[in-house]
Structure 1
């Protein structure tokens, strides 16, 4: 497959590159961060995103040396960022490389910013799944003692371009094969105030929500907290299972094109009710979310969000909504490794299609 260096190939709409001056490393934008770009609602923006795997300090902060054993191309923007003096404190800030924010004209607190995924294209033919520092779903068990503080599993894109391959043993010839579904783990809006949030825990601002349903055709709705919305993206994945149990998924650099729209407050309330956090939608599902450091509480929050959504959208009695969710809706664990854990529900639109378009 073709390697997409910064600016190579076809680019739709406006363009944001992961150059040293256009990214934050380990922190997310806040309201006092100046936008690198201001667009009108309905605009398309293409982001080249950069994976943090191979550039972190515990991997040597030298991607050319880190990837040399695998004989793969290394992106020039990865080399430049690793060699830069971009402000970041290892062990204090997060690992993620995040775009500086894009403002959408007319977006105001109380509105929703709608981010629709149009295209996701791998920039390289490989990725990394890592487990480090006693994190993940089994801290204290993995990494193994012989691995040290970090274990990195190298995964290739298969020759067919639609599957990933992970060796059964490190460096082995036999592989497990799994479908690729490239998506952005981080999509968010700037928080109010002048303090940049840590890049790891998700929240009402979105951020590191790691919902693998956010593939082309899906839309993420985020409550605006600052003028212009100030949307940003990062944490690109080629694939991730619900839960992301080892700490990371198949992390790999991605080109992503999105459309940015504004849903005015009154319209947002009519369509979705009052949203306290992220809500996603694809062709088949409404996808409310629940977040908390306690997974049980995250699950409860997701159920409450789903009930409120059904009330607002279809006038459903909350008791009946609760019963419907138990009978007909799947609740999935988005991730359990980002301090704040995530649950998302998949409410089938078809179950209500006979009622007509919600008023």
Structure 2
């Protein structure tokens, strides 16, 4: 069954005290209407190039939800398939002082409105960029915590992973009854790493299909695309996130194939990739390790 949730139903903190907007059964789909990361407050631009932005820098990254999935219990895994991402007709991109890797060059926050026409982002009168929509925030609620929607971790959250496109399936470890899942922060297009802490931020409609898996266990978010198996880790430093996403991939291959550790290491270094999701955050960095399915299937890998 397909349900719909308006962007009027949302939150800024993952918290098990949040009342669910909707209760669904495993196998159901939900269309989430999402706001842009600045809560749709900047919708007009007066100058040709960009304007100075005034907005609440605390309550950003609104998440639509939460949704309670019947039968989801702590220790289970939530399987979430992104069935559709449908952008609205405009987006916004910002440049914020002190944020990102070049923030010290700026003394104020600026923004520009980028219309979306014919699946293209109209960056300015010179350039149009093909849309490549992705979901920035998708997660479940962590047990006993009150977590800002800007953050991410084992519960998912603001992972800003450019591989989170239509057609992929994300797996998240469940910590609270019902999972209490939500999504938001859709990007019309984003470069890996989100170097200045802003993508081309777009209000959108996101359709997700939910299932509860009781036959698998995971420690961190895992992503399955058509071509790749992906392990994801968020840690205080990039080095730690690279290390742990790599070690998670190594562990999965070791547990689900008959390859020796030496062979796994050789295979991973031959065709695996360390890639960046979030590199601009001050508190943490998120990295992923990707392996192509064509190789994993040769060795009987079937973890999911």
Aligned pairs for 1:1-359 within 5 A: 13-19=2-8, 22-24=9-11, 26-27=12-13, 29-53=14-38, 55=40, 62-63=41-42, 66-67=43-44, 69=46, 90=56, 93-123=58-88, 125-141=89-105, 144-145=106-107, 148=108, 150-158=109-117, 161-167=118-124, 173-175=125-127, 177-193=128-144, 195-264=145-214, 267-269=215-217, 275-338=218-281, 339-356=283-300, 358=302
Q: Which residue of 1 aligns with 2:52?
A: none
Q: Deviations over 1:101-135 (max 9, x none)?
A: 10111111111101100011112x22111121301
Alignment check: 8 A CA contact 2:91 2:115 kept: yes
Whichever structure has more helix as a proportion of its residues is: 1
Report the CA distance between 1:199 and its aligned residue.
Answer: 1.4
CA separation of 1:357 and 1:165: change in aligned 2, threshold 3 A: same
- 8 Å Cα contact 1:116/1:220 also seen in 2: yes
Q: 2:60 and 2:261 mapped to 1: Cα distance?
A: 41
**Comparing both structures, which one devotes a greater share of its residues to strand?**
2
Q: What is the TM-score when the length of structure 2 is the normalising length?
A: 0.90
Unmatched 5+ residue regions in structure 1?
Answer: 1-11, 56-61, 72-81, 83-89, 168-172, 270-274
- Quick one: structure 1 residues 277 and 352, their matched pair in 2 at CA, closer, same or farther if it must change by over 3 Å? closer
Q: Structure 2: where are the runs of 5+ without partners?
A: 49-54
SS in 2 for 1:18: coil
SS of alignment partner, residue 127 of structure 1 = strand
Could you say which residue in structure 2 is the equivalent of 1:7? Answer: none
Distance 2:158 2:92 in 1: 18
Structure 1 residue 43: Cα displacement:
0.5
SS of equivalent residue, structure 1 residue 101: strand
Deviation at 1:357, TM superposition (A): 6.1
The DSSP-based 3-state class of the residue aligned with 1:67 is coil
Inter-partner Cα distance in structure 2 for 1:294 and 1:17:
36
Quickly say closer, same or farther: Cα 1:315–1:226, change in 2 above 3 A. Answer: farther
Match of 1:303, SS state, is helix
Mapped to 2, the partners of 1:286 and 1:94 lie a distance apart of 34
Shift of 1:163: 2.4
Distance 1:205 1:94, change over 3 A: farther
How far, CA to CA, are the matches of 1:181 and 1:284 in structure 2? 17
Separation in 1, partners of 2:19, 2:113? 37
